[in-house]
Amino acid sequence: MEDLSEKEQLEALRAWWAENGSYVVGGIIVGMLIIFGWNQWQSTKADTEVAASTLYEDVMEAAARGNLDAASAAAGNLFNDYPDSPYAAQARLAMARLHMDNGRDLDAANVLRPLADSSTDNELALIARLRLAKILLYQDKADDVVSLVHDMPETAFAARFNEVLGDAYVALGEFEKAEAAYVTALNDSPLARTVDPALIQLKLNDLPAAGESAGNETALSEEDVQADEAPADDEADVPDADVSGVVESSAETAEDEDSGEE
């Protein structure tokens, strides 16, 4: 009876294997392929990081020597072969600084742009955007600065973005907007501590008083009327209108004074 039971069990096992054996073998093969693929991916990833790291070191060594050509060559390989690597982002910041040191602000802006436009959730991208804004101010492109930073999300860099935004509005002569941006930067600074409150307060104090520009325009109009009414032979005695009073604060340089950002 026991022999018969064992035979029945063996037959049942054979029947089950005949029905499901291919699935079992297939599952084992798939599992082995997954493990193999995972190991290969990890190995490739490690090799990629090593290669990107090596190129980044080449960039930094060349930059330290002030060798712009060698740094640009290594950075170009890094940007082309490993564009998504953190080392590529760091290299863009380093190359922007090197270009500015060599008076090549256009190249500095170009090397920062891809990183600055990549993401507002990435700290390095935020640093790149801030530095790009300062370069654009240096290039007298205040409208571009406003487009770049006017609607930034709340981050640890909010105070610095608002300070740059205020500088751009000053350059455009939009002093009310500049004042609002500076005040926002001051309100953010106690928490972030990324700006100099005293400097921003100085910028606020330098803004024209409310109505000053309008007052100058009124005075100019009155003098123009008097000049029109004066006899032709007395025109040389009419005083020139005073059109001074609007003082624009200069754009900050793109060099980031806070080396801790890098």
Is 0.85 surpassed by the pTM of this model? no
What pLDDT is stored for residue 84 in this prediction? 87
Q: Write the DSSP string, 200-211.
A: HHHHHHHSPPTT
Domain boundaries, given as residue ranges, for the chain: 49-139, 147-253
Task: Please state the rounded mean pLDDT for residues 221-246.
Answer: 37
Query: Dihedral of the CA atoms 193, 196, 211, 218 (nearest 10)?
Result: -140
Predicted confidence (pLDDT) per residue in 238-250, tens digit: 333 333 332 233 3
Task: Provide the b/e sequence for 110-134 (b: ≥16 CB within 10 Å).
Answer: ebbbebbebeeeeebbbbbbbbbbb
| Choice among 26-30, 123-127, 128-132, 168-172 with the minimum mean pLDDT | 26-30
**Each residue's pLDDT tens digit, 81-110:** 999 889 999 999 999 999 999 999 999 999
Nearest Cα neighbor of 254 from 120, 56, 76, 112 is 112
Second-level CATH architecture of 49-139 = Alpha Horseshoe (1.25)
Beta-carbon neighbour count of residue 251 at 10 Å?
22
- 154 vs 51, which has greater pLDDT? 51
Question: Residue written as tokens 């093969």?
Answer: 29
**Interval 174-211: pLDDT, tens:** 999 999 999 999 887 555 567 888 999 999 999 997 54
Where does the pLDDT of residue 226 fall: very low under 50, low under 70, confident under 90, or very high at 90 and above?
very low
Hunting for tokens 């930067």 — which residue is that?
A: 185
- Position with higher pLDDT, 4 vs 254: 4
What is the pLDDT at residue 219?
36
Mean pLDDT of the chain: 77
Q: Smallest Cα–Cα separation from 96: which of 149, 137, 142, 134?
A: 134
Instruction: Give percent above pLDDT 70 in the chain.
Output: 72
Tokens describing residue 103:
């008076």
Number of H helices, E strands in the chain: 10, 0
Determine the distance from the C-alpha atom of residue 191 to the mean position of all C-alpha atoms in its chain, rounded to a whole number: 21
